[in-house]
Amino acid sequence: SRDAVGEITFDVVRLAEQGSLSVDAGRWLFVAFAIAFAVKVPLFPVHTWLPDAHTQAPTAGSVILAGVLLKMGTYGLLRFGVYLFPEASVWARPMLYTLAVIGIIYGAIAATMQKDLKRLVAYSSVAHLGFIVLGTFALTDQSVSGGVMQMVNHGVSTGALFLLVGMIYERRHTRQIVELRGLQQVAPVFAGFFMIVMLSSIGLPGLNGFVGEFLILIGSFDTARWWVIIGTVGVVLAALYLLWAYQRVFHGEPDEANRGFAELRLREGLLLSAFVAIIIFTGVYPKPMLSRIEPSVKALIEHVEARTDYRQPVQGLAGE
């Protein structure tokens, strides 16, 4: 694009400040960017590649995909979609809310039906990323801060879940839930780590997942009330499919094949301890992370308000 003096530039800040696009051009460009980033998120209905990608990828690939690569989609929607095209972002919010909430519910239901433990975790990502998109386009300080925080939290929790599933596969050479039973009896430390990480993914208070989801839901309530109410069902469903999976894999009497399941090795325990430390610290004391997120979020919301008729109904984070 050319800036105000006719110079061709790709400087995002200069392009955003210029704001010389017509409404129609801005909306068409936003749709193009949104479709591209929606595939990367992935957002329903362009999510179908993710479960297969996770299933075929090695453990390290799944951790990188969940922890880093998927966040390029949500970051792109925030950095390029909302920042470059604020008017179009406000205009498109109802459609994006709807797709996000469908993704939340669909991802949770699909996860409940999975027989492969890794595919279950993959579908849980579809649901979690739906929450992030919902918070991003609710455009309040709370919701966007929660969305950015949940990008980090999802990477930590889901990355750790993929590591744990990879360790199960290394020991048992299967990820089929029906073939795994009673692992808690033979590997109690492993089961304990899995429980903590799983609860963080559910959003248990005191763990990192709760903070981001809570900010998203409470921050989005005034601007996307009915979508939030429907999306909250996804939180309940997350508890259902993850706790049910844990019960089937770790409870009960281990059969002959599972009695030889090895406990965590020292290297594995140290690696998982780092994840658990982040999960607990962020859940108990989120202020350091939020204090780094808030200034950028406030600047973004002010940028949107200055260029549109939109005004957020809730100002600032709770307790400010």
Q: What is the rounded CA–CA span in Å between residue 108 and residue 63?
A: 20
Proportion of the chain above pLDDT 90, given as a percent: 39
When pLDDT is averaged across residues 244-267 and rounded to a whole number, the result is 87
Q: What is the pLDDT of residues 181-229, one digit of tens each?
A: 888 888 899 999 999 999 999 989 999 989 989 999 998 888 888 899 9
What phi-psi label fits residue 307: left (phi over 0), alpha (psi between -120 and 50 degrees) or beta? alpha
Q: Judge residue 10's burial from the number of C-beta atoms within 10 Å of its C-beta, 0-12 exposed, 13-18 middle, 19 or more buried.
A: exposed
Lowest mean pLDDT among 15-29, 129-143, 207-221: 15-29
Q: What is the mean pLDDT of the chain?
A: 86
Mean pLDDT value across residues 131-142: 90
CB 213 within 8 Å of CB 129 = no
**89-133: per-residue pLDDT in tens?**
888 888 999 999 999 999 999 999 999 999 999 999 899 999 999
Q: Could you give the CA distance from residue 149 to residue 130 in angstroms, rounded to a whole number?
A: 14
User: Cis link prior to 42 (omega < 30° from 0)?
Assistant: yes
Location of structure tokens 């499919």: 241
Q: How far apart are CA 228 and CA 306, in angstroms?
A: 26
Q: What is d(CA 276, CA 196) in angstroms, rounded to the nearest whole number?
A: 7
Contact yes or no for 190/127 (Cβ under 8 A): no
DSSP 2: B
C-alpha–C-alpha distance, residues 230 and 214, integer Å: 15
pTM comes to: 0.87
Euclidean distance between CA atoms 203 and 180, whole angstroms: 25
DSSP string, 4-63: TTS-B---HHHHHHH--S-HHHHHHHHHHHHHHHHHHTT-TTS-THHHHHHHHS-HHHHH
What is the DSSP-derived secondary structure letter of residue 317?
Answer: S
The predicted pLDDT at position 4 comes to 46
Amino acid at 100: A
- Separation CA 265–CA 277 (nearest Å): 18
Cα angle for residues 146, 148, 150 (degrees, 5° grid): 65
